[in-house]
Structure 1
Amino acid sequence: MIRAKPTTCIFLFFALLVGTCSAYGYDQDSRPCEEDACFVEIHSDAPRCWMSGNNQNIAYMSPMDGGSHRIPNACRRSNIFGGDGYLVAYPSIGGVVLIKNPSAVDLQHLRLPNTHDTERSPDQDDGLATRMVQLGAHWWPNWDLYFRHSSRVDGGIFYDYHFPLTSTSPSRRQAALRHQYEDKVCRSWLPHAPDLWGVKMRYALTMDDKSEMIKDLGGTFYASIDEIPGRAKTVGEAVGLFEPFKQRLSNMEDDSYRNRFCTIDEGEDEDNDKGTANEKPFKQRWGIGSLFNELR
């Protein structure tokens, strides 16, 4: 057995120390999050957090082998034109309500400008959050949980009904994986939006247009938001709707569970399946036809 010389070990230790320190240093265009009022609380094991432009950047060590993500500037409602495309509301109940890449029609329905990003108005966040969940946005307990899992979905890991999908952009994350998993072990359980969804929604000028297009694509029409299954009318209801996803997302942090959920046999003993991925939630609609006139 070959033994390393003491001097070699010391050299390697200092090299590692220097590399670690430089890895978590800040360049001239960045600043620590603690020095900026526009950052949110970090829930991950994050050794480094810095502000750069309109984003809060986080490099974290755990869970799920660590990673990095960018949280939108908490002093702004949106970073659609100057960031990653998020519309955000921070309700007084806590957590965050978000929509990724809302359409111009969605913004107008939410009483927001569709030509520029807007600053956050704390006294109006509850009203905006309510209108967002009624439009189909989801509530999340914190940014960290959202980004940890959304980055994995975007990277090709099959989540299906373990990850909430907003009806403002149905199947946005899973659509690219649809054909990859059809007729294979990881069969998609959630329905997918038609191929023309993106094209149709791009040319909708009003909510009336959007409603007619959704109906033409096979969407279900509801005369009132009260009739829509699984749709929150308040932020409190949105918090309740997220509850089942806490365990599902936690399960997906376990690679063995994730592999098993893709390969599990539908005919296995029900007692073994209780509480696992085969205990499917209420089947969510991919689109809606309601105009929500009462919400305008």
Structure 2
Amino acid sequence: MQPDPSSGVNVAMYREPYLSHDPNTRTEFLPLSCKTTAYPSSGGIVLGYFSAVELAHLDLSRTKQANRSSDPVEEDDLALRMLHLGAHWWPNWRLYAHHQERILEGILYDFHFPPHVNVGYPSSGKGVWVFKFSADERIWDEEDQRKPYLDRKPDDWDGRINMALTMNERCDVLKDFGATFYEDVEDCKDIPTTLRKGVEERRRYEKHLRKMEDMKYVDEWLSGSEIGRDAKDYARLRYIA
């Protein structure tokens, strides 16, 4: 959650790193994670916010900022490995930042915005743990007719997940939070097997994000009147998101 302005914290300074981006930068260290970006040759960006354990898994420095590579093969390789850790593909930074800012302002997105996908790989090399929560920052009001399909981030999430020193410890934390274990990674719809599939999966969100530009739609959706019209898309996104 963003800080309460009444606390004296500079809210604009807190939000700025999440909404601005240098296209030459690979990693940027934030208070609770490292913003990491890859630039696949097919276009767009792959964006993830990673812990120290995940950076080590990606063979990225946990202490020094890195810049993007000029080698498209290297960028594609990192992009896929980031997708395997729950990162998302976006057509451009502008689309992500615009809707992320609205979420920070308290607008509820639910299935319209990709969820946070948190992944852990046991050192045995067998299977994967996956735990997801909504990108929404604000708690849903009791009078809202619609109810979220995913819970918000647990209050103690950042404190506990950032204490993990190894991938096995990360898996243990994910398990404690109720993560799902897949014996075969290919059975998990949140982890694409190829870069192309990862891009295709995330393109599905674009039309839903466009709908969220219309506040009339947002009001009708929250009241429940749009659920019939979007029933198929809603059901599908509940499955993949």
TM-score normalised by structure 2 residue count? 0.77
Task: Verify: 1:166 aligned to 2:116, yes or no.
Answer: yes
Given the superposition, is the C-alpha separation of residues 284 and 231 from structure 1 closer, same or farther in structure 2, using an over 3 Å criterion? Answer: farther
Q: Which amino acid aligns with 2:40?
A: P
CA distance in 1, matches of 2:78, 2:26: 10
Given the superposition, is the C-alpha separation of residues 187 and 275 from structure 1 closer, same or farther in structure 2, using an over 3 Å criterion? Answer: closer
CA distance in 2, matches of 1:158, 1:99: 21
- Per-residue CA deviation, residues 169-200 of structure 1 (Å, 9 max, x unaligned), is 954742x423x435633421223444332222
Deviation at 1:264, TM superposition (A): 1.5
Aligned equivalent of 1:145:
95
Aligned equivalent of 1:126:
76
Deviation at 1:234, TM superposition (A): 2.0
Greater relative contact order: 1 or 2 (C-alpha under 8 angstroms, separation 6 or more)? 2
Structure 2 unaligned spans of 5+: 1-15, 119-130
- Per-residue CA deviation, residues 250-290 of structure 1 (Å, 9 max, x unaligned), is 11011111111100158x7xxxx23469733343589xxxx
CA distance in 2, matches of 1:200, 1:243: 32
Residue-pair matches, total: 210
Aligned equivalent of 1:252:
212
- Report SS of the residue matched to 1:79: strand
Q: Which of 72, 76, 85 is 2:25 aligned to?
A: 76
Deviates more, 1:191-200 or 1:149-158: 191-200
Given the superposition, is the C-alpha separation of residues 91 and 278 from structure 1 closer, same or farther in structure 2, using an over 3 Å criterion? Answer: closer
Task: Verify: 1:279 aligned to 2:234, yes or no.
Answer: yes
Identity across aligned pairs (percent)? 32
Shift >6 Å, 4+ stretches:
none
CA distance in 2, matches of 1:275, 1:285: 15
CA distance in 2, matches of 1:172, 1:265: 22
> Which runs of structure 2 are paired with 1:21-100 in the superposition (5 Å)?
69-70=19-20, 72-80=21-29, 85-100=34-49
Deviation at 1:122, TM superposition (A): 2.6
Given the superposition, is the C-alpha separation of residues 284 and 203 from structure 1 closer, same or farther in structure 2, using an over 3 Å criterion? Answer: farther
Aligned equivalent of 1:209:
169
Q: Which of 126, 138, 148 is 1:177 aligned to?
A: 138
CA distance in 1, matches of 2:40, 2:159: 32
Q: Rg: which structure is higher?
A: 1
Structure 1 unaligned spans of 5+: 1-55, 58-68, 287-296
- Per-residue CA deviation, residues 44-78 of structure 1 (Å, 9 max, x unaligned), is xxxxxxxxxxxx99xxxxxxxxxxx52x2222211
Deviation at 1:208, TM superposition (A): 0.6
Given the superposition, is the C-alpha separation of residues 277 and 157 from structure 1 closer, same or farther in structure 2, using an over 3 Å criterion? Answer: farther
- Across the aligned residues of Structure 1 and Structure 2, the Cα RMSD in angstroms comes to 2.8
Deviation at 1:221, TM superposition (A): 1.1
Deviation at 1:214, TM superposition (A): 1.1
